[in-house]
Amino acid sequence: MLLLNRYGLGGLICAVLVTLPAAVVPAWGADDPGFERMAICQDSWLDWQKNDPARLKVFADRFHAAFSPHDNDPYFLPKANVSVAGLRVVQAYPGSVGMGVGFSLLVDATFDKAKQTLAKQLGKPLVKCDASDGMKTCELQIAEQRTITLMAPDDPKNSQTLIGCYYFYEK
């Protein structure tokens, strides 16, 4: 109201137009390359555990600075906005998901968008895809004990996808 009284309607409109872009900018910040590298198998905590414990500790410290546990659930929640490959991270699974051991992130993106984004990041498509038992999955083996996996419910209303690097997976 102060702007309206002091500068008139034009001043108020100008103030709104100046501050509006800040409100429209996505709420999450820049991508986190460390978490992205871990989720797409470019880095491996399994390898670091065996060969470079100091590097693993640095990563673990960064992870705990960025995420906090969610009660007794197996996932962690971002303390602030985190994104990988331009996709907002909703949850992080630093050790396992069900029978899979690895590192994965639940991102706010449909399965198709996550698949397309990941293929662009990797420079190659995820070729081994399946839709069964109410789930859509794709995977790409990068190396022995390193498989990039995408998983999401086979539901058109679903807007979140799990992206992860798995070292062992029990089917």
Write the pLDDT tens digit of every residue in 91-117. Answer: 999 886 655 678 899 999 999 999 999
Q: At 36, list the tokens.
A: 């992205």
Secondary-structure percent of the chain, ordered helix, strand, coil, rounded to 5: 35, 35, 30
Helix (H, G, I), strand (E, B) or coil at 145: coil
Contact 8, 29 (CB under 8 A): no
- Gap between the Cα atoms of 171 and 151, Å rounded: 14
pTM (whole model) above 0.85: no
Helix (H, G, I), strand (E, B) or coil at 163: strand
Helix (H, G, I), strand (E, B) or coil at 13: helix
Helix (H, G, I), strand (E, B) or coil at 89: strand
> Which residues on adjacent β-strands are paired with residue 89?
107
Write the pLDDT tens digit of every residue in 42-57. Answer: 888 878 888 888 988 9
- In which band, very low, low, confident or very high, does the pLDDT at 17 lie, cut at 50, 70 and 90? very low
More confident residue, 155 or 10: 155
Q: At 71, list the tokens.
A: 């009660």
| pLDDT of amino acid 127 | 82
**Is residue 161 left, alpha or beta, with left meaning phi > 0 and alpha meaning psi from -120 to 50?**
beta
